[in-house]
Chains A and B, each alone.
Chain A
Amino acid sequence: MKHAWKELIYGKKKYILIELLLILLMFMVLFLVGLAEGLGRAVISGIDTMDAEYFLLDESAERQITVSGLKEDVLGEVRSMTSSDVTTLDIQRTYLTKGGDTEKINAMYFAIEPGSFIEPDVMEGNGLTVENAEHSILLDDDFKLKGIAVGDTVYDSSSDFAFTVVGFTKDQMYNHASVGFISTETYTEICTALNPMYQKSIHALVIRGRDVEKIKVAGTELVKKADVISSIPAYTAEQSTISMIVWVLIIVSAVIIGIFHYIMTLQKRKQFGVMKALGTKNRTLAGAVICEVGTLSVFAAIFSLGLTFGMAAAIPETQPSYLKFSDAAIVALAFVVISVLSSILSIVNISRIDPITAIGGGEE
């Protein structure tokens, strides 16, 4: 370790350049992970942040909430079967307009029972249970970027139904649209206004509890939250493509780092030969290389994490970037491990250096 550190200090100009390269490679991967995660959050966060464990869906709905349709009386039936918390959820795509504006804002209604366990935390203003607010709507804070504030009136563009914005929540998106929470009652009113023949049904029941195994309703399927998320149209395909890009980047970066270390080893062949001639064992040299690579990688991980979170704070809020520190730390740790593994080629090369190179080959 001491030996590796002395070499790093002595060759600081060279190693700072290598460190810069490592930081940029690691930053590129972390930033892409953040963007990929942000894109994923834009599809699932409304469901993912929901304090729910299971969803009861129509068994022919292929686990998609928006395709599912349950009869109204299923709610009472399920509540009689279980002591778990049970509530209703309807999801509907829509367009909202701000009073006086013509711009249509892509949005997603989450129709819920006000005050139920799936109503999100309020960041500003009030929740749906606020009194004296007829037809209230609780919006994701993305709507603030459109100039909407608490107390404003927004309109459903297809029915001209008016809502009072009672508050803002955050991290609530579904299928690339920001979510507006409304009451199930209001939702029924909108549906009836658009279609007088509307027959009330429920997209899904949301369940949180222990004895969910008691829930047995013909024609329905109890689905875990994770399975509902992975069944959101295009989500899995989108994420697997992005994951593939990220992993290819990690592997390519590891190969680049491995080649760098290998070239440095080649440059120091004579030096390693001298050390071996003087009695230094292969394992000591291997340890020095691993320490050197590990030190460079750990510093690169620290700096690139700082750079990534700094950049995430600086980019516009409209950019879909989301990176939890724990996820970023896992990626950074994987990068360090892969970097150290990439030095194996150098270590193999060092073990093959004949100490006779120290005195010029012995061909005389």
Chain B
Amino acid sequence: MSNTLLKASHISKSYQDGDGKKEVLHDVSISVDAGEIVAILGPSGSGKTTFLSIAGMLLSPDEGEIYIAGEAVSVLPRSKWVDVRKNRIGFIFQSHQLLPYLKTKDQLDMFQLKEYRGTVNTGDLLNELDILSCRNKYPSKMSGGEKQRTAIARALINDPDIILADEPTASLDSVHGHKAVEMIRNAVKKRGKAAIIVTHDERILDLMDRIYLLENGRLIEELRSQKL
């Protein structure tokens, strides 16, 4: 039985560009198994954020399909996407994107689904990420690393199948950036989930199981960790 949690199959995407069309993704296929953390690496304009948006049910592909735990989710009507995002995907954005008016515990409570209130304990999660002391702090009173760890906790609060991270180290120094990604890796390994990290940051590649290289919307190489 396959343990693939995310499968992107032959994804293509174009945007209107003046009179013509610009193809930003061409026939990209990526799969991530349970317990795996992979990076998508590429220069600006390579299509990695577009891929993340399609995988995260924020954008529809022109061609191809997205499967989460074997279920074809990209064929679902758009009105159902919000439920897929809420139930099955954990997002970590650039610059944490925490709500400024909520304390850490409220950041998690606000997005936690009722059915996970008994199974995912907020305190345990904060303790695991070493931010229990920030429980009653607003984002403005926390360091960059603490904020990004709060964002990681928020992504894990509904025990999602996959974690999608968009440049999670962009606003952190190398030590804190590495530590944040290490926490994502540990959480993924511990829970048997899958994670895709879109990044420019080569300092975190040692934490990846696999790396996909994108250039001009095409997948040009897939590296296994032993080749890094």
A interface residue numbers (CB < 8 A to B): 3, 6-7, 9-11, 270-271, 274-281, 354-356, 358-364
B interface residue numbers (CB < 8 A to A): 15, 24, 44-50, 52-53, 56, 58-59, 82-83, 85-87, 91, 93-94, 97, 99-102, 106, 110-111, 138, 154, 166
What distance in Å separates the Cβ of A338 from its nearest Cβ neighbour in chain B?
A: 26
Task: List, sorted by A's number, 19 A–B pairs whose CB atoms are closer than 8 Å.
Answer: A9-B101, A10-B138, A271-B99, A274-B99, A275-B99, A277-B85, A277-B93, A278-B91, A279-B82, A280-B86, A354-B58, A359-B56, A359-B93, A360-B94, A362-B53, A362-B59, A364-B44, A364-B46, A364-B50
Please give me the residue from chain B that is nearest to A359 by CB atom: B166
Cα A102 to Cα B48 in complex, Å, equals 94
Q: Given A358-B97, A359-B94: A278 and B111 within 8 A (CB)?
A: yes
Cα A119 to Cα B183 in complex, Å, equals 87
Cα A271 to Cα B97 in complex, Å, equals 7
Which B residues touch A360, using CB under 8 A? 49, 94, 166
Contact indicator A278/B53 (Cβ below 8 Å): no
Q: Given A355-B58, A364-B46: A10 and B100 within 8 A (CB)?
A: yes
Please give me the residue from chain B that is nearest to A279 by CB atom: B86
Partner of B97, one of A10, A11, A270, A280: A270
Cα A270 to Cα B138 in complex, Å, equals 18
Taking A279-B83, A359-B49, A362-B53 as given, write out 6 further A-B residue pairs in contact, using a Cβ cutoff of 8 Å, ordered by the A residue number.
A10-B100, A10-B102, A11-B101, A359-B52, A359-B58, A362-B50
Q: Given A3-B110, A10-B101, A279-B83: A364 and B93 within 8 A (CB)?
A: no
Cα A100 to Cα B11 in complex, Å, equals 103
Cα A355 to Cα B154 in complex, Å, equals 17
Cα A78 to Cα B102 in complex, Å, equals 76
Cα A362 to Cα B48 in complex, Å, equals 9
Partner of B53, one of A6, A275, A359: A359
A-B contacts, CB under 8 A, total: 79
Contact indicator B58/A277 (Cβ below 8 Å): yes
Cα A276 to Cα B97 in complex, Å, equals 12
Main secondary structure of the interface of B (DSSP, over half): mixed
Which A residues touch B87, using CB under 8 A? 279
Which A residues touch B94, using CB under 8 A? 359-360
What distance in Å separates the Cβ of A184 from its nearest Cβ neighbour in chain B?
A: 72
Q: Given A277-B58, A359-B58, A359-B93: A364 and B49 within 8 A (CB)?
A: yes
Which A residues touch B53, using CB under 8 A? 356, 359, 362
Which A residues touch B48, using CB under 8 A? 364
Contact indicator A364/B24 (Cβ below 8 Å): yes
Which B residues touch A274, using CB under 8 A? 93, 97, 99
Contact indicator B102/A6 (Cβ below 8 Å): yes
Contact indicator A6/B106 (Cβ below 8 Å): yes
What distance in Å separates the Cβ of A180 from its nearest Cβ neighbour in chain B?
A: 63
Contact indicator A279/B111 (Cβ below 8 Å): yes
Which A residues touch B49, using CB under 8 A? 359-362, 364
Cα A275 to Cα B85 in complex, Å, equals 11
User: Which 6 interchain pairs have the tightest Cβ spacing?
Assistant: A279-B86, A10-B101, A364-B49, A362-B53, A274-B97, A7-B101
Which B residues touch A275, using CB under 8 A? 99
Cα A361 to Cα B49 in complex, Å, equals 8
What distance in Å separates the Cβ of B213 from its nearest Cβ neighbour in chain A?
A: 15
Cα A233 to Cα B83 in complex, Å, equals 66
Please give me the residue from chain A that is nearest to B154 by CB atom: A278
